[in-house]
Structure 1
């Protein structure tokens, strides 16, 4: 490990210190006046490739850094109405001044040609039209084709493999992280270019003082005032299908708004557009995606690893509204209001066949094969309202965010188990869960300049209440899996749980700036108060009785963490550094009010974080990351009474020697490095990464079966350490001449883990390798092709029992569109997913075809689509669980063949 890190740092140091050379100087005209905006390029002799470039400033000054093995290079200078200069220079640091002679040129014809990619400072601009094909309609369609940018399945936009921290439209952040709606519904024809803002610090007053490691996107529209949007209305059959999307948008200089209504039953989870995909800067306060606290759940059918349009059986209605306005004459103040509501019904079915190895650790399951079928209905009702008041100016910052979330969800489950034993009949269980929840949170952050200092005050308050009630009928279904106190006595089991959480965080800091160094000392206090009450009862003849024994809970988990920290920030044109040194004083109290357990955990912990980036040779950037952190568990980690965590599992988070200070304590250490190359002149991007992490634990989780595939979940006091190491590389290039974008990546990950299974302590080691490739081509006016492929190889080892298992899989997607004329488009789509292990291979191909007629004058599309034309009804996979010694074959119900007719249009 040390040798690898030493080699990486030595390589980086040699690149930075020994390979980089710099040429500086002043450019003037024949009269000795400074020439601004003159371009300076460095090229290797005889090669039509630019190594580095620079632009002279208003004083005529220029600076170009480059890396080359050649002894001599060509320096070229060009400026409007000046005679170009080409001069051979030595590959060395030097200062060269130039005087250009006037050269007036009579222009007979002017042709404007937009550059595909341009770079100015930390901003890289992409001309959107250069990357689109004829079948693209929205911003998201084109973003996926831009080199250096990726779009995840959940809609998150990545740049150089890292999530962006902001998504602007004309420089304004209307969506506050929930940018999926705009990304999926903004017509591409309204966009002029996409800007990547590297090292973006969202808080204006901190931009020259506190560096950022993340990038942001700014969508530049063609007009400063734009009324636009996208709509779709569709219907189909097998069964009766429908799809409605209506998303009008307005982007002005003072006001912006987006109204969105989407509903369908054709397998598209439009409700995800309400998710937060980016979280900005910590100086803006605290925002997070609110989720329900889950103590119990129905047994859930699995989902296959294919696009959700293949398997999602839904009936969803999602409505949202987002507004941004400047309520005062001072446009620095902005008011934002965001609301959304989801009503959704999802059906899901799967079948699992589990074949256990004939080993002693499997106990009664050794050599047996169990088959289980699960069916679900998930009913979701969720609402969110958010009000944000902000001022983001160079002379001050203020942001207050108030958020309310409500959930009224209901889940249904039906499970059946076949033990493949003639004397044991099949076992069936009906399950229902009601889970209302409510959450309120308010976040405040303000930065006030005082003389040469910056004073920051932050406050965060959150209250959340979760209630869950699950019933399992008949009770014999649960009795088969678990060891309840009175098996066979009850018709139905009911698990009820109620939890409340109050979180309060306050902090204050002062920033001192000395040239390029900013020092920020900070003090604060984090408080967290939690309570859990639960009870498991059984029904007999319509009457419910609390189970005797440890089947109730009344637990308090309270945390008080005052802290102090110093943050050192250095920012220059080339080098960005941040070192944060927090000292946290943890005080955690766990109290079980029913079983007389009381434990305190106090610890003073240093948890530093560090990152640095250095730009060199014009197009290279080198990153280093490191951090250390502690985890002392959280609310729900410990409770002394049993909880029916699912219809087939009993959970009890209890440590026998808890009173001997065996509270959870995890120590995590991580280090990473990354080398990036971003050259917009030749449309080439690549990055190489290395990450290493360790986690030292004093507790391991346990699982004991009770004669079936369910059992008892618990924890055991046992020292164990895990580690993970990953290496990855990614490269992408756009070929303008062929209108092709090609990218590929490879990742290798090694990790180990520990678990207790049926009383056996097991160490697992896994090696996972993943290769992906992406290809887009629109060279021919009559054809466009998009192709994506991902392959993975896994080698799992049970180090305790000296067993191992290899598995592999791959999936790909091919989309091809033929344009015989301006009005007609024929499409073909081919998805395929393959999993393989122990000689078992399952292939899952899907084929779609489409036809689209475009009314060009009105920009309206009429589309007919036939999905899953082979009418494949089951998706199958196979996997091995090396810890539990079994092979699992899964089959999932997917959507049948279906036909859709859709009308698509822009609002303007």
Structure 2
């Protein structure tokens, strides 16, 4: 509570430090006629620094809010064909009207020159030409260099550190959140500018009624009708023969848009992730999610290095997608969208590791060789009406998986060596339908939402021979740790099936008056899960019998949650508020027919959430948010029989335990500054959170690294506090964009390991820098670096044992010795340290590119992993273990690629 109070006080003093003053009035000409689009600028005397600015509306009215410690400030008024006005005014609230004298603006030559960054209201526009370099070809290449915008490794676009909620092209949302395809393949030459729509409410009928704290991106193309796209065809040699094909034609018209995308390669590019949903829109649009499998069972997996994927991914992938949008009425209010994608992917992975267990004073080694096979089909049909007088959206999604995984596993300890073959088959069928409509009724709005999801997951995990496994168990909670031995040469099989039905229905009515919107809502959520599992394995004489009911599950888990809530929203020029005050009537039942156990929970909860944002001094935004949430577990925390989740681990829930309950409290504060006049952006904030649970994980681990995890009834608490800051600026004189970031996270958690209570504290710090420069005509530079310090402390990791450091950088340098010729140098460096152990991993690539500028075709020859580094080494720290791992990398390879635009 003390930390929460401190955070509120910090934000109060931050906002109080900026004592705001407002100057308003009207600007007219000699005849008293209003002058629209005149600029009104506030500056400190004697300083070339803009404090705030405003633009007059059609009536010539303006309003400028600013803060300054000076007694007086300079006010400047400028308009086309008018003589500029400069006046020193007092630092106080006042109304000032100006009459400007006519003065012809002499234009010596016709030369149009756009600004790099411009702002009008909540829209910030970036001129793409100001930020690109000679080697950039796609929108994604340039987006990474725009101040205030970041692009994560997974393709997610962030503005001021937060994910965007929409991605438009010429105002249309073709991709419905899966914008990676367009971002990666849209030629930069087709783009006029990138617009950031701050505080964007995507549902038009709610604009100016229900505020939003998220931003959207709109890509404005040079032409209203554009046929374009990007393609690559490449081949090369390494181990084995290499190929890379990318074909992404696109069409953007006024009535329809479409994108077709086919990508295939075996040279380490993870193209299938382009189909992921990265922006989720507004909750008023219904539910939107990435469909995923219920992966309860897994083979043992080789570790993945903290490297760019292209360094280690041994793949053979085919990815095909198609997205289509068309207006189906004359008013262009109704849209039909059809999206589909198919993935066929085979991945190889290999790693070796040595683990030191400080609790047991034991050491063991593992080696895993994986083959993962993904076969996935997804289709989606969306009908949307998004108009000022009504909203309708229905999304129907079907997904089918036919996945299979294989592992060759090796384990070695002080006494023995074992090998095992692991195979997992996991087909999944999924159907979803989300409907949301908003109907205007006089001065009110009625919103009806309905969501249905049905999913059927099957998984079969087989281990041969079964005696590869040596699973620990205890006769009693405090008894000695024993080991289950399987008959040599036998086979073990874990079968699993879960059928899930989720439904959610709600209705609300919204009342709007003087900027306030009140939305009372009633809803009903119903879900049911049916779990069936069994394990077949034969143990040696004297061990437990795995054919007994202790290793079977037949569980039905049902949740019925009626709810009532009140939404409160407010929107003014300076303030935004949205809050929700829901009361949930939770009714949960878990029936275990095998054990004659029936658990129930009936509890009423109040889970409010609130967000308040204050905009001031033209460029600043301060916000506070907080929420309380409850979770009463799910079927994963309610079963009573053992389940082999992977060949190294069994999980079990105690049938006598109550239904799990957890309560999470979260509070955050944030201060933003974005000034397009001097190209400066920064944000700083904090988030404090804690979670209370009634069950605690208790893990039994033997000297071979095999484990059993069960949950005991014991109250425990987890806290996580994070603090962050980011500042970025573009220096137009030097054509340089630079940013600095800092993150600090302190967390505390509790667990039980081999009957020892483990209270772990983790302290992580990360400092990052991003830098790109295009000042020289013969060279451009992109540089990203981060330094991380982590420390874990518990009863097993004392002193320097829990300390770890990591340094990472990515450097790309391009040289342009002659027109249309480019030489690229790439350097990825990853260094890690724990105690006296250090690993330095450096990777170098070299490329030569010739550009046939007339045809917009590039010919590239690229040599990757010049040093032919074959393994990546890393140290991982767990509660009681330190693991040193070597992971297999892609060998040195050479690729020749032809790159081109479709038009």
| Aligned counterpart, 2:733 | 737
CA distance in structure 2 between the partners assigned to 1:83 and 1:254 by the alignment: 45
Deviations 1:642-675 (A, max 9, x none): 11111111111225x32xxx22110000000000
Q: How does 1:117-266 map to 2 (within 5 A)?
A: 117-239=117-239, 240-266=241-267
Q: How far is the alpha carbon of 1:538 from its aligned partner?
A: 3.0
Q: How far is the alpha carbon of 1:12 from its aligned partner?
A: 3.5
Q: How does 1:466-865 map to 2 (within 5 A)?
A: 466-479=457-470, 487-488=486-487, 491-538=490-537, 547-655=547-655, 657-658=656-657, 662-798=658-794, 805-865=802-862
CA distance in structure 1 between the partners assigned to 2:7 and 2:517 by the alignment: 31
| Aligned counterpart, 1:392 | 386
CA distance in structure 1 between the partners assigned to 2:496 and 2:577 by the alignment: 47
Rate the CA distance shift 1:314–1:800 in 2: closer, same or farther, 3 A: closer
Number of matched pairs? 889
CA distance in structure 2 between the partners assigned to 1:831 and 1:447 by the alignment: 51
| Aligned counterpart, 2:303 | 302
Q: How far is the alpha carbon of 1:805 from its aligned partner?
A: 2.2
CA distance in structure 1 between the partners assigned to 2:795 and 2:365 by the alignment: 28
Asked if the contact 2:434/2:452 (under 8 Å) is kept, the reply is yes
CA distance in structure 1 between the partners assigned to 2:14 and 2:699 by the alignment: 51
Rate the CA distance shift 1:616–1:799 in 2: closer, same or farther, 3 A: farther
Q: How far is the alpha carbon of 1:801 from its aligned partner?
A: 7.9
Q: How does 1:394-473 map to 2 (within 5 A)?
A: 394-419=388-413, 421=414, 424-473=415-464
CA distance in structure 1 between the partners assigned to 2:179 and 2:309 by the alignment: 20
Query: Does 2:370 correspond to 1:370?
Result: no
CA distance in structure 2 between the partners assigned to 1:643 and 1:329 by the alignment: 57
Q: How far is the alpha carbon of 1:74 from its aligned partner?
A: 0.7
Deviations 1:124-143 (A, max 9, x none): 00001100000001001100
Q: How far is the alpha carbon of 1:287 from its aligned partner?
A: 1.2
| Aligned counterpart, 1:58 | 58
Q: How far is the alpha carbon of 1:799 from its aligned partner?
A: 5.5
Asked if the contact 2:471/2:484 (under 8 Å) is kept, the reply is no
After the TM superposition, which segments of 4 or more aligned residues of structure 1 sit over 2 Å from their partners? 1-18, 105-108, 479-487, 799-805
CA distance in structure 2 between the partners assigned to 1:855 and 1:692 by the alignment: 55
CA distance in structure 2 between the partners assigned to 1:40 and 1:907 by the alignment: 45
CA distance in structure 2 between the partners assigned to 1:3 and 1:477 by the alignment: 50
Q: How far is the alpha carbon of 1:250 from its aligned partner?
A: 0.1
Asked if the contact 2:465/2:488 (under 8 Å) is kept, the reply is no
Where 1:140 maps in the other structure, the secondary structure is helix
CA distance in structure 1 between the partners assigned to 2:219 and 2:187 by the alignment: 12
Rate the CA distance shift 1:203–1:315 in 2: closer, same or farther, 3 A: same
Task: Give the stretch that moved more between structures: 305-314 or 50-59.
Answer: 50-59
CA distance in structure 2 between the partners assigned to 1:223 and 1:816 by the alignment: 33
Asked if the contact 2:845/2:863 (under 8 Å) is kept, the reply is yes
| Aligned counterpart, 2:476 | none
Asked if the contact 2:471/2:649 (under 8 Å) is kept, the reply is no
Query: Please, what is the CA RMSD of the aligned residues?
Result: 1.6
CA distance in structure 1 between the partners assigned to 2:7 and 2:667 by the alignment: 14
2:890 to 881, 886, 895: 895
CA distance in structure 2 between the partners assigned to 1:550 and 1:132 by the alignment: 63
Q: How far is the alpha carbon of 1:188 from its aligned partner?
A: 0.5
CA distance in structure 1 between the partners assigned to 2:607 and 2:698 by the alignment: 29
Rate the CA distance shift 1:635–1:457 in 2: closer, same or farther, 3 A: same
CA distance in structure 2 between the partners assigned to 1:414 and 1:481 by the alignment: 22
Asked if the contact 2:471/2:708 (under 8 Å) is kept, the reply is no
Deviations 1:453-481 (A, max 9, x none): 00000000010000001110001102366
Where 1:518 maps in the other structure, the secondary structure is strand
Q: How far is the alpha carbon of 1:18 from its aligned partner?
A: 5.6
Q: How far is the alpha carbon of 1:539 from its aligned partner?
A: 7.2
CA distance in structure 1 between the partners assigned to 2:660 and 2:379 by the alignment: 36
CA distance in structure 1 between the partners assigned to 2:783 and 2:243 by the alignment: 29
Asked if the contact 1:303/1:892 (under 8 Å) is kept, the reply is yes
| Aligned counterpart, 2:900 | 905
Q: How far is the alpha carbon of 1:707 from its aligned partner?
A: 3.4
Deviations 1:90-128 (A, max 9, x none): 111111111001111342312211101011111100001
Query: Could you state the TM-score of these two structures normalised by the residue count of structure 2?
Result: 0.97
Deviations 1:738-792 (A, max 9, x none): 1000000111111101111111111100110000000000000110000000110
Rate the CA distance shift 1:450–1:13 in 2: closer, same or farther, 3 A: farther
Rate the CA distance shift 1:278–1:502 in 2: closer, same or farther, 3 A: same
- Where does the alignment leave 5 or more consecutive residues of structure 1 unmatched? none
Q: How far is the alpha carbon of 1:46 from its aligned partner?
A: 1.5
CA distance in structure 1 between the partners assigned to 2:12 and 2:170 by the alignment: 37
Q: How does 1:68-107 map to 2 (within 5 A)?
A: 68-107=68-107
Rate the CA distance shift 1:281–1:594 in 2: closer, same or farther, 3 A: same
Where 2:31 maps in the other structure, the secondary structure is coil
Asked if the contact 1:485/1:547 (under 8 Å) is kept, the reply is no
- Where does the alignment leave 5 or more consecutive residues of structure 2 unmatched? 474-481, 540-544
Where 1:141 maps in the other structure, the secondary structure is helix
Asked if the contact 1:480/1:707 (under 8 Å) is kept, the reply is no
Asked if the contact 1:763/1:800 (under 8 Å) is kept, the reply is no
Query: Could you state the TM-score of these two structures normalised by the residue count of structure 1?
Result: 0.96
Where 2:114 maps in the other structure, the secondary structure is coil
Q: How far is the alpha carbon of 1:330 from its aligned partner?
A: 2.8
Task: Give the stretch that moved more between structures: 746-755 or 241-250.
Answer: 746-755
Where 1:857 maps in the other structure, the secondary structure is coil
Q: How far is the alpha carbon of 1:489 from its aligned partner?
A: 6.4
Q: How far is the alpha carbon of 1:379 from its aligned partner?
A: 0.5
Where 1:322 maps in the other structure, the secondary structure is strand
Where 1:301 maps in the other structure, the secondary structure is coil
Asked if the contact 1:535/1:546 (under 8 Å) is kept, the reply is no
